[in-house]
Structure 1
Amino acid sequence: MGKEKEHINIVVIGHVDAGKSTTTGHLIYKCGGLDKRKLAAIEKEAEQLGKSSFKYAFVMDSLKAERERGITIDISLWKFEGQKFSFTIIDAPGHRDFIKNMITGTSQADAAILVIDSTLGGFEAGIAEQGQTREHALLAFTLGIKQVIVAVNKMDDKTVNYNKARFDEITAEMTRILTGIGYKPEMFRFVPISGWAGDNMTEKSPNMPWYNGPYLLEALDSLHHQSAHSTSHFVFHSRMSTRSTVSVQFQSAVSNPAQ
Structure 2
Amino acid sequence: MDLLRFITCGSVDDGKSTLIGRLLYDSDSVSLDVLATLEKKRTATNSTDVDLALLTDGLKAEREQGITIDVAHKYFTTPRRKFIITDAPGHVQYTRNMVTGASNADLAIVLVDARQGVIEQTRRHTLLASLLGIQHFVLAVNKLDLVGYDEAVFERIVADYQAVAKQLKLASVVAIPLSALHGDNVVRRSKQIAWYQGPSLLEHLESVPATTDANPNEPRFQVQYVIRPQTEELPDYRGYAGRIQSGTYRAGDKVRIWPSGLETVIDTIEVNQQPVAAAVAPQGVVLRLRDDIDISRGDTIVPIAAHPAVVREFEATLCWMDERPLRAGRKLLVQHHADVVKASVTTILQKTNIETFESQGTDEAKLNDIVRVRIKTALPLVADEYRQNRVTGAFILVDDQTGATLAAGLIAATDPEYFTQEVPAETVFSI
TM tier relative to shorter chain: 0.7 to 0.9
Please provide the CA RMSD for this pair.
2.6
- Where does structure 1 lack aligned partners over 5 or more consecutive residues? 236-250
Q: 2:323 aligns to what?
A: none
Counterpart of 1:59 (choices 55, 62, 78) is 55
Q: Is the 8 A contact 2:41 2:50 kept in 1?
A: no
Aligned residue for 2:145, secondary structure, equals coil
Letter paired with 2:197: N
CA deviation map 1:107-152 (0-9, x unaligned): 0111111111112xx22xx51xxx3100000000000001011111
Structure 1 runs of 4+ aligned residues shifted over 6 Å read 49-54, 232-235
Counterpart of 1:145 (choices 131, 134, 148) is 134
Shift of 1:39: 2.9
Q: How many residues of Structure 1 are paired with residues of Structure 2 in the alignment?
A: 229
Counterpart of 1:174 (choices 147, 161, 168) is 161
Shift of 1:82: 3.1
- The verdict on how the C-alpha distance between 1:53 and 1:18 changes in structure 2, with shifts beyond 3 A counting, is farther
Shift of 1:46: 6.7
- The verdict on how the C-alpha distance between 1:6 and 1:107 changes in structure 2, with shifts beyond 3 A counting, is same
Q: Is the 8 A contact 2:69 2:94 kept in 1?
A: yes
The structure carrying a bigger strand percent of its residues is 2
Partner Cα distance (2:46, 2:212) in 1? 41
Shift of 1:50: 9.5
Partner Cα distance (1:221, 1:15) in 2? 25
Partner Cα distance (1:116, 1:170) in 2? 8
Shift of 1:48: 5.8
Aligned residue for 1:136, secondary structure, equals helix
TM-score by length of 2: 0.49
Matched, 1:73 2:46: no
- Where does structure 2 lack aligned partners over 5 or more consecutive residues? 216-244, 247-281, 283-335, 338-389, 395-409, 413-420, 425-431
Q: 1:13 aligns to what?
A: 9
Q: Is the 8 A contact 1:32 1:80 kept in 2?
A: no
Letter paired with 1:214: P
Matched, 1:208 2:193: yes
Partner Cα distance (2:39, 2:65) in 1? 16
Alignment map for 1:226-237 (pairs within 5 Å): 226-227=211-212, 231=245
Aligned residue for 2:62, secondary structure, equals helix
Q: Is the 8 A contact 1:111 1:228 kept in 2?
A: no
Matched, 1:115 2:111: yes
Partner Cα distance (2:213, 2:14) in 1? 25
Q: Which has the larger radius of gyration?
A: 2
Aligned residue for 1:139, secondary structure, equals helix
TM-score by length of 1: 0.80
Partner Cα distance (2:212, 2:106) in 1? 5
Q: 2:179 aligns to what?
A: 194
Q: Percent of aligned pairs with the same residue?
A: 36
Q: 2:269 aligns to what?
A: none
- The verdict on how the C-alpha distance between 1:61 and 1:54 changes in structure 2, with shifts beyond 3 A counting, is farther
